[in-house]
Amino acid sequence: LNPAMEQSISKLMTKILRHTPAQFGVSLNPEDGSCPIDVLLEAIQAQPKWAGITTEDIEQVVRNSEKQRFAIEGGRIRARYGHSHDRVQYTAGHPPAVLYHGTNKNALPSILLKGLEPMNRQYVHLSEGTGFATLAGSRRGELVILKIDTSRVKEAGIVFYYAGNEVWLADRVPADCCSVA
């Protein structure tokens, strides 16, 4: 697989594992959102363009994902974060005092008014470092990095979940817990 093919398969995998599994005849475990690698492989092979893809190709995409979007365990694969349709269960945890969220300048007024909302996903995505937040926020215009005061979020009764690789999730983040970094 060349990098362009990897990216294209990665996008297809996020579609299946985060958003519309049923559309591809895949059913995900309701708890962790996983399915057997073979099931994902068959769903991808069913796309005329990718009939020749192998398990090794999928493993390569997983290994080379700079954000570690996927996790493979015991013959099963799942998206680590980013789900829209099904609400995957995560273990609640205690994040560092400060987390970051990357967004864009146009969204800022609404965020400072209403706080961070999951929008089309199940959770708001936050990170321990600014690297991941920069990647996320640069996708839609002029980057703005927000600093999140996590103790204050917890005081509002909101729970944090750890998705691994420095990514934290929350149902929402009130506006008074966000400040421009």
In the complex, which residues of this chain contact ligand HQG (CB under 6 A)?
A: 14, 67, 69, 82, 103-104, 107, 110-111, 114, 116-117, 119-121, 125, 135-136, 140
Residue among 38 and 117 whose Cβ is closer to ligand HQG: 117
Beta carbon nearer to ligand HQG, 76 or 83: 83
CB of 52 to ligand HQG, least distance (A): 25
Question: To the nearest whole angstrom, how small is the minimum distance from the Cβ of residue 142 to ligand HQG?
Answer: 12
- Please, what is the minimum distance in Å from the beta carbon of residue 175 to ligand HQG? 8
Rank residues 94 and 139 by Cβ distance to ligand HQG and give the closer one: 139
- State in angstroms the smallest separation of the CB of 137 from ligand HQG: 7
Cβ closer to ligand HQG: 19 or 154? 19
SS3 labels along the chain? CCHHHHHHHHHHHHHHHHHCHHHHCCCCCCCCCCEEHHHHHHHHHCCHHHCCCCHHHHHHHHHHCCCCCEEEECCEEEECCCCCCCCCCCCEECCCCEEEEEEECCCHHHHHHHCECCCCCCCEEEECCHHHHHHHHHHHCCEEEEEEEHHHHHHCCCCEEEEECCEEEECCECHHHEEEC
